[in-house]
Chain A
Amino acid sequence: MNPAQFTVDSRLDGDTAVIYPKGYLNNLAGESLVAECGRYTGKGIRKIVLNFGGTGLINSIGISLLLQIIEDLRTIEGTVCFSNMSKFQVDTLDMLGLLKHLRIFPAESEALQYLGAGAV
């Protein structure tokens, strides 16, 4: 686990925002991640990739906020993909029965490819 201070970076790749949450994803961190997503959707971006390569542990509140992001995107008929998740993170979501509700890709490039193919 990487309990480092949470930060969130992002970049725009065409019409897709790629967001990099780093550190421990809890309530405060989750809220800043939701805000970062909101910043893009506010500009009309409807495709988001969340790259979890730098994310350590995600607690239950962090998971709740990820579900919030999915719902926000669904409201504007957008799509969010998860990428670069560790086995532990995937197993955690599986434990909660959430896998079938999420789009998860091993690599960021695969997520971008999926969204580039017109998936919204």
Chain B
Amino acid sequence: MPFNSIPAIDFLNRESELAYLRRLPEVKSDGLTGNVILTGGRGIGKTELLKQLYLRLFREEGCTPFYYSFRTANLKGNYFARDYFARFVRQYIAFLRKEPSLAENVSEPLQKLMPLVSSLGLEWLLDCMADFQVHLDNNDLYWQVIAAISVPVTAARKGGRPVFVMLDDFDAAENLYESVRGDAHGLTSLFSEAMKNSLCPHVITGSAAALEAIFADQAFIGGVERLRLGALPDDLARQLFRSLLGKLRLSCPAEESLQFLNLLRGNPLYIRNLAAAARKMQKDNLAEKDLVECYSMDVSEGETARYWSSVFSRCTGGAARKKAVVKLLMHSVEGGGMEGERLSKVLGLREAETGAALDELQASGILSDQEPLLQDFIRGLFLREIEGRTAEQVREAIEKKYSRAKPESCFELVIPMDLNAELVAAGAVEQIGKNLGLDSDFLSFLQLALIEVCINAIEHSGSHDRRILLKFISRADDIEITVESAGRPFTLDSLSAVPAEEKLRGGQKRGWGFRLISGIMDNVKVERVGDRTRVILNKNIKHKEVL
């Protein structure tokens, strides 16, 4: 229901969108579009924006707000029609009386409201209710749906004030059916008439991909504008989290620890759920470690996991199909290609099965919207559903991913591409290693790997600025060295490791560098950042390597 919204004070950074939407009745009366498709990532606050808008309109007199969520609706046609019609009548009367409880009491039969409707002088509404009952008695689905969808238009005409229609998760309306799923395609197009009415602006939410498909229908063309809700900026995301913790009487983590929130990509739903997880886990004096624990719990079995599970369950059928979809999602998280035929072979699924799962996932937006949190949810799902891990093991796996010791020290250095400049970099490693108490052979190998990367940059990059940027991060169990330089791209593939015998036989004396680097380091990664090549070297530190 629209009345269970969050307090306006916690609804941050959406004033311009609210102001824009509030002007829609005026825009529409001027003959302009006046209907808006509201898109944005899941959990970004589309539903909340509708609820906030609803509350503000409810308190005023300018237009009557009507909110309907398809997410929870029964999509069997006649149920839907009755529900839509009844909710409209209740919300309309609630607005006139300024009594939210009238809208919320959905269990009360409409007939019981008739005396109230009559006392308000709404004879036209009584007529609508009587007509609707006739359609019900005749078991005429088409006219039931038409009557339900058009009741806001009738109300706007007869009541003398615009009706602002908010249709949440409208893409689900594509699944309206008469007797069995799929037997009544095209019912959504019936909304087009109501949307064209100058007294009824509509705001519609749902998956962007699915909505675009719906509104490509001839019946809707030219009738809607798009408004995309973006993420909260970092500072507001932190402000929201602090405010929520304050309300839960939990002390707020230090600013440094709040950097962890960046992982949530400014998504208000995730931020709320993380705060709720902290309360549930009875965490106070939150440190980053606690945030990681709360996050792992939330994304594996908390509110966020439930949210995504519910979205996910709409894309799956039976158990076998569910496993196929989980495998497919994991494949996409790991960056695998999504071409149907190849995918079927990789996943061991039938092509038709893969195709159907792909279509549903694409329509739901899950495939196109893979932020880090969603990837963690998918990994958790894979561990549980495919690998049979327990909830605790899943939680631990996610925690482990983010529970790296924080950097103990970080040095940055710029060296010129000059003769023996790599020795300056090697000297820095030597000192850092001494600070960590590393043994000399271990350090020599690190120096050698770094020297090789620097030499490679000097010899092959053709860099215009002739500088190499180095960053050393030392942790208790790991050293990370980043070497960055402008110039020609460099990939590990370009430095194939030819066996020694082959090299010697072929008189090939150069090209040992990559073999040394990969032999010494535990992980070598090459990235291209703009016109720069970044090589990231990681070396784990074992106890025996510390003096």
Residues of A within 8 A of B (CB): 1, 3, 24, 26, 28, 57, 59-61, 63-65, 67-68, 71, 87-88, 91-92, 95-98, 101
| Complex Cα gap A68–B419 (Å) | 22
- Whether A68 contacts B509 by the Cβ 8 Å rule is yes
| Complex Cα gap A77–B455 (Å) | 34
Question: B27: CB under 8 A from chain A?
Answer: no
Q: Which of B419, B440, B443, B515 contacts A96 (CB 8 A)?
A: B515
| Complex Cα gap A65–B451 (Å) | 17
| Complex Cα gap A68–B320 (Å) | 62
Q: Which residues of B contact A26 (CB under 8 A)?
A: 420
Q: Which residues of B contact A3 (CB under 8 A)?
A: 420, 423, 426-427
Q: What residue in chain A is nearest B455 (Cβ atoms)?
A: A59
Q: Which residues of B contact A101 (CB under 8 A)?
A: 500, 504
A96 touching B516 in the complex, CB below 8 Å, given contacts A3-B423, A57-B451, A88-B441: yes
Q: Which residues of B contact A67 (CB under 8 A)?
A: 504, 509
Question: B520: CB under 8 A from chain A?
Answer: yes
Q: List 5 A-B contacts (CB under 8 A).
A: A24-B423, A26-B420, A63-B512, A67-B509, A98-B500
| Complex Cα gap A97–B500 (Å) | 6
> B503-518: contact bitstring with A at CB < 8 Å (1 yes, 0 no)?
0100101111101100
A95 touching B515 in the complex, CB below 8 Å, given contacts A59-B451, A67-B504: yes
Question: B452: CB under 8 A from chain A?
Answer: yes
How many A-B contacts at CB < 8 Å in the complex? 67
A71 touching B507 in the complex, CB below 8 Å, given contacts A26-B420, A60-B516, A63-B512: yes
Q: Which residues of A contact B499 (CB under 8 A)?
A: 97
Question: B304: CB under 8 A from chain A?
Answer: no
> B447-484: contact bitstring with A at CB < 8 Å (1 yes, 0 no)?
11001100100000000000000000000000000000
| Complex Cα gap A63–B516 (Å) | 11
Q: Which residues of B contact A65 (CB under 8 A)?
A: 509
Interface residues of B, CB < 8 Å — how many? 31
- Whether A96 contacts B427 by the Cβ 8 Å rule is no
| Complex Cα gap A64–B452 (Å) | 13
| Complex Cα gap A87–B439 (Å) | 13
Q: Which residues of A contact B509 (CB under 8 A)?
A: 64-65, 67-68, 71
Question: B11: CB under 8 A from chain A?
Answer: no
Q: Which of B420, B507, B511 contacts A24 (CB 8 A)?
A: B420
**Top 6 closest pairs, chain A to chain B, by CB:** A97-B500, A60-B512, A64-B509, A60-B513, A95-B519, A3-B423
Least CB distance, A102 to chain B, in whole angstroms? 11
| Complex Cα gap A67–B504 (Å) | 8
- Whether B500 contacts A1 by the Cβ 8 Å rule is no
Q: Which of A71, A88, A97 contacts B444 (CB 8 A)?
A: A88
Q: Which residues of B contact A88 (CB under 8 A)?
A: 440-441, 444-445
Least CB distance, B191 to chain A, in whole angstroms? 69
Q: Which residues of B contact A24 (CB under 8 A)?
A: 420, 423
Q: What residue in chain B is nearest A64 (Cβ atoms)?
A: B509
- Whether B455 contacts A95 by the Cβ 8 Å rule is no
Q: Which residues of A contact B423 (CB under 8 A)?
A: 3, 24
Least CB distance, A17 to chain B, in whole angstroms? 22
A64 touching B455 in the complex, CB below 8 Å, given contacts A24-B420, A91-B441, A95-B519: no
Question: B430: CB under 8 A from chain A?
Answer: yes
Q: What residue in chain A is nearest B520 (Cβ atoms)?
A: A95
Least CB distance, A10 to chain B, in whole angstroms? 22
Q: Which of A1, A71, A95 contacts B430 (CB 8 A)?
A: A1
A59 touching B448 in the complex, CB below 8 Å, given contacts A95-B516, A95-B519: yes
Of residues 50 through 80 on chain B, the ones whose CB sits less than 8 Å from some CB of chain A are none
Q: Which residues of A contact B422 (CB under 8 A)?
A: 59
| Complex Cα gap A35–B426 (Å) | 27
Least CB distance, A48 to chain B, in whole angstroms? 18
| Complex Cα gap A96–B497 (Å) | 10
| Complex Cα gap A71–B427 (Å) | 33
Q: Which residues of A contact B420 (CB under 8 A)?
A: 3, 24, 26
Q: Which of B430, B447, B510 contacts A64 (CB 8 A)?
A: B510
Q: Which residues of A contact B500 (CB under 8 A)?
A: 96-98, 101
